[in-house]
Copies of this chain bind each other. A is one copy, B any other.
C-alpha cells in the first residue's frame, strides 16, 4: 500500500457539488458495505498507512483548501491553516494509536479446567469495525470537525467506511477535501465506497435511516442533533448515535482569584470567548464571578472596542440574532453591552445577572448561544457558585479559576466533575488538544452518548464492536487472534498484560 498524491488541477478548480439524489443512497450504502469487507481485513498497520496517506494528500493541497475555506466560512487564514494542521496531525495520531495497540487490545483467556464456575473454554476477544458510519459534518470547523475531521479519522482508523454528510456552509471545500480523501484511499487500494460525500439534508436523513449504516456521528446544534438522535433510535434496527450538541462551558472565578488576578482572567476570557467569533463548542458562555467584582462592566468596556466579524453563514447569523434577543429580554439580566448585527458582521453582546435573579430564568441563561454572546453571573457567596454549578445540565467543559489551597475551588472542581467531560483549572476550555487522554464529551445535552469522546485516542472505540471466539482453532481464527500474531501485540491474557514479543 502506498499513496502518492500530486497537486492537481481538479483540486484547485472550482467544484460545485450537487445534492445527492435520495434514490442514489441505496447504491452508495451498498458500495460502503462492499468497502467494509476490504477495510475489515486490513491490519492496524495498514489502516495507519491509509490515514497517513490521507494526511499527506491534504497537506499537499493545503493552500488551495484554505483559499476556499476562507471564502466560504469567513474565518481567517491563520486560523484555517492551524485547523488544517490539527486535522492532518489527528489522522497521523490515530495511526500512532493503532500502532501502540493498548487502546484496542485483544483480551484472551486460555482454557482452564479449574475455573471456579466450571471449565473455562479458550476465549479470544477482539474489536471489529462496526460497519459503514454516517458522519454529519460541523459548520464551525471546516477542517477539524468536517470532511476529514475527527469523526472521519476515528471511523477510518476503526476500519469503517464513512458516508460524509457535507455541511451546507462549506460545500465547495467539502467536495475538494472529499475528492482528496477518496483519491488517497483509492491509491492505497481501497474500494470506492470507503469514503462517500453526501450532499443535502434529505439524502443525509436517508443515509441515517438506511439499514446498511451501523453508526452515526454528529457535531452541531442541540435541535438538529436531537432530531437525528431520535431518527437513529426509532429505526427498526437502532444504531449508536454519537452527537455533540453544545455546551455553555461555565467558568467560575473564586473570590480569591478575582481579588488577585481579575484583569488577566478577563483578558483570557475575551480571547477564548472570541475565538472563531464565538462559534466554538467550547466557548466559555457563562462567566461566574463574585458580586463585588467589576467584571461585567470591565468586559463590556473591552467588548465595545471589538470590530464586527462575519459569522459562518446567514442562517447562523439569524439564529444568533434570535437567541441574543431571548437573552437580552431576560427579566433576570442587565444588558452590559449590546452588540450589533449589520452587514459588516456582528459585535459581541454581554449581559449580567445576579444569581438571585438568574435562578428564575436559568434555562434561558444557561442555554448555548452560538456566536459572540455571553452571560456574567454574579454571586454574593461561594455557596451561590456551588448552587449554580449544581444546577447546570451536562457540559463539555467546566472551568475553575482558583487557588489549590482554597477549599471553594476544590469543591467547584468536584461538583463540575459530575456534570462535565473536562474540568479545566486556571486555563481556558477552547483549543481541545488531540492527545491520548483527551475527553471531548459530557452528559446530555453536551453529547447524546456520555461515555464516548469525539477527540482523543479513545474516540476510535465508538466504532468498534467486540466479538469473542470460543474454542476456535488457530487456523480458523481471525489472523490477529492467532497465537503467532497475538504474541506480537500487546494484549491481555488471563487477566494480565502481555507485552509484544
Interface residues of chain A, those whose CB is within 8 Å of chain B, are 85-86, 89, 96, 100, 102, 107-109, 115-118, 120-121, 123-125, 128, 130, 229-230, 233-234, 237-238, 240, 393-394, 404-405, 409-410, 413-414, 417-418, 420-427, 431, 433-439, 441, 443-445, 448-451, 453, 456-458, 461-462, 464-476, 478, 490, 492, 494-497
CA A238 – CA B241 in complex, angstroms?
12
Does B118 lie within 8 Å of A431, measured CB to CB? yes
Q: 10 interchain pairs (CB within 8 A)?
A: A115-B433, A117-B433, A121-B433, A230-B233, A237-B393, A240-B449, A240-B450, A427-B471, A436-B492, A451-B464
A217 nearest CB across to chain B (Å): 14
Contact, CB under 8 Å: A438 / B123: yes
Q: Which residues of B contact A439 (CB under 8 A)?
A: 125, 466-468
Selected from B100, B102, B237, B458, the residue in CB contact (under 8 A) with A444 is B237
How many copies of this chain? 2
> Chain B: which residue is nearest A420 at the CB level?
B467
Contacts of A431 in B (CB 8 A): 118
B123 touching A478 by the CB < 8 A rule? no
Q: Of B117, B238, B404, which contacts A476 at CB under 8 A? A: B404
Closest to A413 in B: B476
Give Cα A404 to B475, complex, Å.
6
Chain B residues with Cβ below 8 Å from A469 are: 413, 417, 422-423, 425
Contact A473 B404 (CB under 8 A): yes
Q: What separation, in Å, do the CA atoms of A422 and B469 have in the docked complex? A: 6
Structural contact, A494 and B238, CB atoms closer than 8 A: no
Chain B residue numbers with a CB within 8 Å of A238 are 229, 444, 448
With known contacts A468-B437, A476-B410, A89–B107 Cβ distance under 8 A: no
Question: What residues of B have a CB within 8 angstroms of the CB of A85 in the complex?
Answer: 116-117
B450 close to A458 (CB less than 8 A): no
Cβ 8 A contact of A423, one of B115, B445, B470: B470
Please name all residues of chain B whose beta carbon is closer than 8 Å to the beta carbon of A435 when the two chains form the complex.
109, 115, 120, 123
User: Does the CB pair B450–A465 fall under 8 Å?
Assistant: yes
Please name all residues of chain B whose beta carbon is closer than 8 Å to the beta carbon of A414 when the two chains form the complex.
478
A82 smallest CB distance to B (angstroms): 8
- With A413-B476, A434-B117 known as contacts, the answer to whether A471 contacts B424 (CB < 8 A) is yes
> In chain B, what residue has the closest Cβ to A123?
B437
Q: Pick the contact of A437 from B109, B130, B450, B476 — CB < 8 Å?
A: B109
How many Å lie between the Cα of A271 and that of B380 in the bound state?
72
Residue among A233, A238, A421, A470 with max Cβ neighbours from chain B (10 Å):
A470
Complex-state Cα separation, A418 to B422, whole angstroms: 35
Q: Which residues of B contact A478 (CB under 8 A)?
A: 414, 417
Query: Which residues of chain B come closer than 8 Å to A230, judged between CB atoms?
Result: 233-234
B468 touches A438 (CB 8 A): yes
**B130 touching A117 by the CB < 8 A rule?**
no
In the complex, which residues of chain B have a beta carbon less than 8 angstroms from the beta carbon of A233? Answer: 229-230, 233
